[in-house]
A and B are shown apart, each in its own frame.
Chain A
Amino acid sequence: MIKINNKKLAKFIGFKAIRLLILLIVIATISFIMIQLSPIDPVRAYLGQRIVSEEQLAIIGHYWGTELSLGERVLGWLQTLATGSMGFSLIYRVPVTEVIISKFTSSLILMLSSWVISGFVGFGLGVLAGAKEGTWIDKVIKTYCYILQSSPTFWIGLVLLMFFSVYLGWFPIGLSVPIGQLSDTVTIWEWLDRLILPAITLSIVGIASITMYTRDKLINVKKSDYFLFAQARGESFWGIIKNHGIRNILLPAISIQFLSFNELFGGTILVEQVFAYPGIGQATVAAGLRSDVPLLLGIVIVSTIFVFVGNMLADIIYKYVDPRLRSVDDE
């Protein structure tokens, strides 16, 4: 049903790649300069609590290039970045890329599962509320959304943790592996058991916005002329919701869901903190608190790519799935 023009798509992605490159250079430069202007002293952070003499300090400083001008330092950072290296993490004592890959994969599972849950549940609730606008079902769903939207992620996490883990004891309190066990020896079930609560917390927050958006879109469809005409043609109410309502709101809803990648990333930092889930969020907090400049900059870059890809996917969906935009493009 959906015909995708491969040549166009390749051109589009190529174009986007160039934009991403420019964006990355700008983000890398700005974030680097900001760190340089901040009171963080990378040399001090590197040394930690160790006591060293002035001469040793100067040698390390020279090795790190502290006497270079800001411009030279930025240039050096971009050059190193171009080779694919993001430096050496001060906390983990391994290359930043390695830290990010391992942390990001565990977070990705958390983020993707909650993204899928919030997408399905949010869309379903939105359709239900929109279709039943003004009824008690709609009011219940709306109230639920307002409460969720206005409560902070970490607080919801804490409440869920207290209720399900402490009082009911259904789920473990935190960490991605049972205490006293190596991560290699964890079974998939043990690991899933620990993923459920953080994933639910993260998705609960996402549900509210997608639900309200879907509801609003469906209400607009219900006011449209084509909805009226479908009724005049004797189609059943739920038939119209299915055939015309969902057809017209699915695309915008999916793209909104892709655009929510930034909220997802922000949310995961809080959720991982509450559940002590060792992912990119925890790494970010640790890097910030302990002045791990290379890791912090690495995470900034990776999160930029993550959000950019989300936005790009939303763009692609609009451009290549919506027949109205698709054919304009094909001319």
Chain B
Amino acid sequence: MEKLLEVNNLSISFTQYVQGLNRNESKVISDLTIDVNENEIVAILGSSGSGKSLLAHSILGILPYNSHVTGTLKFKGKTLNQEIKEELRGHEICLIPQSVNFLDPLMKVSDQAIGECENEEEYNRKKIKQREVFSKYGLNESVDDLYPFELSGGMARKVLLSTALLNDPDLLIADEPTPGLDSKSVEETIEDIKNLKEKGKGVLLITHEIDVALKTADRIAIFYSGYVIEINKAENFKNKENILHPYTNALINALPENGFKLTEGVQPLDIVEGCPYYENCPIRLEKCENTKPELIDHNGIMIRCFNFKEANDGT
């Protein structure tokens, strides 16, 4: 199995000016490490507004100019810089955006799916391909000439998906593909994403819906206050024994089928010195307050918590 995407110790921060010349450095993603293989769906699960999308943006090289990025990104073993990102995006790495707002309101959807063309010949070739992909997702020819505002929710989602698939990418990044959809469309989206995996593609699914992550992904990375605190197999979420981090436990306990148990507390917005979950943690240790735990491998589960030791029992 080839590793498609490797993200190592990625941090993204923004420089903002608050009140005149006072600069404020706000860190949105801290020390994020994750990888996506071929034939695999990896979900990044975190609360909305926590900056998960910025991971997608940094992979595609479309972060705003005032952002500051450290860490390395690799695609198929090749370290990415802005130049390579610009070459890859839209071809080998494609984004499935969140909503129809990501389409030009004044351009017919078929032309948007086709995108920029050098000449007539390229356009005609891509037009055939576009028709092919659209029909595969049940979008008939009348859809080609519609403008984005004329699409229904389900149609829009299919158009966005087709748009990403037109160039046959190896890695797809689905940024919140489900919010605002009815349950039937959500099921369809999950199926569509799973089908991509069957075709050997890698998918990075960014979502805040636990349900979608559990149903779709092979591995789930839990994103908390800018940190990935646990990366675990989706199947392990069925059994609480295999869930390590107290925050992940709290998340699972909050699910309706597990009794809606609510844990008090909020995610810290400021940069904390110790463990980001220290304030709310039921099993915290003394050193957690001032020392930050690293993401370690505990029998195949990546965990950021001092309660677990780096271990490999060979399973």
**What residues of chain A have their CB less than 8 Å away from a CB belonging to chain B?**
224-226, 228-236, 239-240, 243-244, 247-248, 251, 322-324, 327
Contacts and interface: CB of A to CB of B under 8 A. Distances in A.
B106 interface: yes
Nearest to A249: B106
Nearest to B95: A232
A247 B90 contact: no
Contacts of A234: 86-91, 115
B103 A232 contact: no
A299 B116 CA distance: 51
B101 A226 contact: yes
B60 A230 contact: no
Contact of B163 (A233, A322, A324): A233
Contacts of B147: 323-324, 327
Given A232-B95, A243-B107, A226 B102 contact: yes
Contacts of B94: 232-233
Contacts of A228: 57, 62, 102
Nearest to A234: B90
Of A224, A225, A228, A234, most B-chain CB atoms within 10 Å:
A234
Contacts of B97: 225, 229, 232
A232 B60 contact: yes
Interface residues on B, range: 20 to 34
A150 to B, nearest CB: 27
25 contacts: A225-B97, A225-B99, A226-B102, A226-B103, A226-B104, A229-B97, A230-B104, A231-B62, A231-B89, A232-B90, A232-B95, A233-B115, A233-B163, A234-B88, A234-B89, A234-B90, A239-B116, A240-B116, A243-B104, A247-B104, A248-B104, A248-B105, A251-B106, A322-B106, A323-B106
Contacts of B99: 225
Overall SS of chain A's interface = helix
Interface in B77-117: 86-91, 94-95, 97, 99, 101-107, 115-116
Given A232-B57, A232-B97, 19 more contacts: A225-B101, A226-B104, A229-B103, A231-B89, A232-B62, A233-B89, A233-B94, A233-B163, A234-B115, A235-B115, A243-B104, A243-B116, A244-B107, A248-B105, A323-B106, A323-B147, A324-B105, A324-B106, A327-B147
A294 to B, nearest CB: 48
Nearest to B97: A229
A248 B104 CA distance: 8
B188 interface: no
B150 interface: yes
B149 interface: yes
Contacts of A229: 95, 97, 102-103
Nearest to B91: A234
Contacts of B103: 226, 229
Nearest to A230: B104
A244 B116 CA distance: 10
Interface string B240-253: 00000000000000
A322 B150 CA distance: 13
Nearest to B173: A232
A248 B106 contact: yes
Interface string B137-165: 00000000001011000000000000100
Of B57, B60, B104, B107, most A-chain CB atoms within 10 Å:
B104
B88 to A, nearest CB: 8
Q: Which 10 A-B pairs have the closest CB atoms?
A: A234-B90, A229-B102, A233-B90, A232-B95, A235-B116, A239-B116, A225-B102, A225-B101, A226-B104, A232-B60
Contacts of A243: 104, 107, 116
Contacts of A247: 104, 106-107
Contacts of A239: 116
Contacts of B90: 232-235
A322 B97 CA distance: 25
Nearest to B90: A234
A50 B106 CA distance: 67
Contacts of B115: 230, 233-235
A89 to B, nearest CB: 49
Contacts of B116: 235-236, 239-240, 243
